[in-house]
Each structure stands twice: as structure tokens, then as C-alpha cells.
Amino acid sequence: MMSFLIPAFCILLLALGLLLRPLFFRRRAASTSRRQMNAAIYREELEKLEQERQTGEIDTASYEMAHAELRHRLFQDTQEVDDQASFGSTKKTIVFVCLAIVLLSSGIYFYQGDALKIAEENAKQPVSQADVEKMVSEFAAKMEKDPTNLQGWAMLARSYRVMGRIPEAIKAYERAGSYINNQPELLADYADLLAANANGNFSGKPHQLIAQALKLDPNNFLALWLAGSDAFSTKQFALAVQNWEKLAKQLPPQSEEARAVMNSIAEARAKGHLAAPIASAGKGIGGVITITPDLASRVKPDQLVMVIARKPGERMPVAVLKRPVSAFPMRFTLDDSLAMNPAALISQQSEVTIEVRISKTGMAKAEAGDLISNVQTVKVGSSNLRINVDQVQK
């Protein structure tokens, strides 16, 4: 706000200075009073009258009458109260003009809204897709005239990326050359574009770019995600889990991003038949899983039993146990070693909701045909729970 008011105030002072300059710097001749002007006029009239009497154009009686009338008029027109400059009062004029300008400008300012509000209103005006494409096209044309501006090519690549124009973005990154070599975010973005353009294939240059990005910044979000995706696509599930777990530690526990990463970790563990990570067990819950006889016949040996614990009211699990189907009843234990996010452990909760699902695929999301139990709310530390699988997911 001050960055607007100070220049505005200076401009106002400049305008007032230019406007009032004639009142401050008037010449003496311009300050002649009305009394002095009238006296000079009547003096001239008296001299003319005297000249006419001397030449005999008027007689003595007429001269005396005209002379008396002129003196009377001169006395009336040169009263002391009228002895002020013909321009009027300078001080009053200055004060009036200043007040008028300040009040008028302030009124318009507050009626129209301050500069920040006007800027905010302008910012709210939507920018159409056509406007964006026009700006990017103009920028691209400018870059063709300045091909050595490597930073500009990187900016153009990001713009094409946002617009979904992947081939153009890749070409722009190619022309950015050495500028991106020390920019982990740009390296990861370039790798992501190349892999997307190759239908998810990370081999070759995408793999090299990801490794380079992680060497510069081992905690780079996009590079860690891509490294996990690269490992997952080549069935290196342990490496995928390693990269994604490192990423998960940096995300807010209940964010959508954290949920997506934890679901990917769970999928990688299931596909790789990986054991739960070793950790301090802490306080947890345990018990026995049973299944109703009419559903037992539907269980297949290649299915997985999933025991899922969540903080009440939350979607993100705090602990998940996955193991191949075996004989029922089946004992289970959920503790911090099965945590989905190291920042949200089951031992830190006072109570959790728990459910059991027998899944065909081991996917985090329930699918039609999965066998499920009721959701129970239990105290953390309970060790004699009994959970019965008695429903089919629809």
C-alpha cells in the first residue's frame, strides 16, 4: 500500500505546484490594486476635463459640475475596503484549490477502491486458454530469435509441460542444454516427460536423468517418485518401496499425496511379497481372525489377508498387515513395524478402527468380490480381539 501512496502523494504535490505556481510567483504589475487602477483612470478623466475648459470647449459652470461628479465617483470607487489586488486573496485561493483537489481525489479513490483491490479484481479476471496459448507462442517466437538463452528454453519447456504439449516440451528441454545440468527439479521434469512420451519406459535417458537429479538432491520429491516408478516398472519392488518410503517421510501424513504414495508402497510390497519393515514394535493390537463357513469355501490360496487399522475418521491407514491366506482362525498383530507412515504410528493413537479384508489382488482399494469384516473401533493395546469375516464387498 505504501508503495502506491507515496508516489501518489508526490504526484499530487507536483500537480499542485504547477497549478499554483502563478499565485506564488506573480509579477508586481499583476498585483496592482483595483483602487490604484480606478485612481489612474479618473486622473486621466480630470486631466481631459481641464484641457477642455482651457480650450473653451466647455464653460465654467459645466466644468465645475463635471469635476464634482468625477470626484464623487472617484471617492466611491476607491474605498479602502476595495484596496486589494484584482486577482483576489492569494492565500484563500491556494487553500481552496488545495482542499478541492485533495477532497476530490480522495473521494474518487475511496469510491473506486484502493489500488490493491483494483489489482485483486484484475487478477480475478480469468485468463482463457487462447490467451495462454498466445502468450506461449509469442514467447516461443522470441526464443527462436534468441536461441542462446538457455534459461528461456527451460521456461518454455515448463510452459509446454503445463499445457500438455509433451513433444514440444521435450524439444525445448533439449535446447536448454547445459542449463538444466545442475537443476534437479528440471532434470526430474525432463525425465518424467521422456518416460511419458515412451509409454512409461524409463530405460535409457530418463533413468540417467533421475539418477543425476537424486545425486544433486537426494530428497527431491519428483525424482524420488520417478525412481520408485522406474524400479516398480522393472519389478524391483524392494527398491521401489525404498524410494517411496523416503518420499513419504517428507509428506504431510494426511495429505492426498501421502495417501497415494502409501498405496503405491502397499502395492509394491504385495507384488514383491516383501516382509514388513523392521522397526520398534511399540504398543499395538492383536487378536484372531475367523471366517464364516459359507464364505470359507470361496477363499483361494493365492489371495491375501489384509488387516487395516486407521485413525477414527481418517482414510489413511496407520498400519496394514498383509499375509497369504492360511488356515483359520488366524492370529494377527498390528504394531509400529507395520506403519504406513513413520510420522503416524499406531502406538501414538489411543484408539483405532480395524477391519479385515481378503483380497484377490492385494490392492489398497476394496474391490467387488472381496471378503470383508465389519469395521470395529478398538483401544490400542488390546490383544484379544476377535474379528469375523462375514460379508462380500459389492
Q: What is the mean pLDDT of residues 212-216?
A: 95
CA 65 to chain centre: 92
Locate 108 and state its grid cell: 474518487
Locate 43 and state its grid cell: 486622473
What's the pLDDT score for residue 280? 46
Residue 239 and residue 336 in contact, taking contact as beta carbons nearer than 8 Å? no
- From CA 324, how far away is CA 212, in angstroms rounded? 39
Position 175 pLDDT exceeds 90: yes
Rounding to the nearest 10 degrees, give the CA dihedral for residues 340, 343, 344, 349: 140
Position 88 pLDDT exceeds 60: no
In the chain, the percentage of residues whose pLDDT exceeds 90 is: 38
Which domains can be identified in the chain, with CATH numbers? 130-272 (1.25.40.10), 285-393 (2.60.40)
What's the pLDDT score for residue 291? 93
Of the candidates 307, 352, 308, the one whose C-alpha atom is nearest the C-alpha of residue 325 is 307
- From CA 239, how far away is CA 221, in angstroms rounded? 16
- From CA 154, how far away is CA 123, in angstroms rounded? 26
Position 196 pLDDT exceeds 90: yes
Q: What is the mean pLDDT of residues 212-238?
A: 94
Q: What is the average pLDDT score of the chain?
A: 80
Question: Residue 85's pLDDT band (boundaries 50, 70, 90)?
Answer: very low
What's the pLDDT score for residue 340? 77
Residue 157 and residue 187 in contact, taking contact as beta carbons nearer than 8 Å? no
Residue 245 and residue 268 in contact, taking contact as beta carbons nearer than 8 Å? no
Residue 259's contacts (CB-CB under 8 Å, 6 or more residues apart) are 315, 316
Question: For the whole model, what pTM was predicted?
Answer: 0.49
Q: Are strands 285-291 and 385-392 parallel, antiparallel or unpaired?
A: parallel
- From CA 371, how far away is CA 300, in angstroms rounded? 11
pLDDT tens digits, 254-293? 678 887 888 888 888 888 888 655 444 458 899 999 999 9
pLDDT tens digits, 12-61? 666 766 666 665 555 444 444 556 666 667 677 777 777 777 887 777 76
Position 375 pLDDT exceeds 80: yes
Residue 156's contacts (CB-CB under 8 Å, 6 or more residues apart) are 136, 139, 140, 143, 172
Between residues 119 and 291, the one the model is more confident about: 291
CA 46 to chain centre: 85
